[in-house]
Amino acid sequence: MKRVMVRYTVKSDRVEENERYINGVFEQLDREQTPGLRYASFKLDDGVSFAHIASNETADESNPLAELPAFQAFVAGIKDRCEQPPVVAELNEIGSYRFFGG
């Protein structure tokens, strides 16, 4: 099981565009009921920073998120939309309460 957090800041005039891409990812996830993945996206209170948390629970450690066309479209232009590029941090759980289910 691999868990990551990604943080980045988009240009102020690209916030709505970024949110449309994120919504597209969730729409595809809802349609396809993608197994082995837990995923959440957040907009921080500055209005231009975003954080995504993903938990990959596939047996073969493949990344079902990366295989989604909506996610591929989201990441295709992320560098152009960003003021500060994405930073990925692997998360090592110490404990949680109902955060990842189970």
pLDDT at 100 over 80: no
Cα-based torsion angle of the residue sequence 18, 20, 24, 26 in order, rounded to the nearest 10 degrees: 80
Q: Which residue has tokens 């957040």?
A: 42
pLDDT at 61 over 80: no
**What is the architecture, at CATH level 2, of domain 2-91?**
2-Layer Sandwich (3.30)
- Domains of the chain by residue range: 2-91
- pTM higher than 0.95 for the full model? no
pLDDT for position 93: 87
pLDDT at 102 over 60: no
Q: Which whole number is the average pLDDT over 47-67?
A: 91
20-27 long-range contacts, Cβ below 8 Å, gap at least 24? 21/70, 21/73, 21/74, 22/50, 22/74, 24/70, 24/73, 24/74, 25/65, 25/68, 25/70, 25/71, 25/74, 27/70
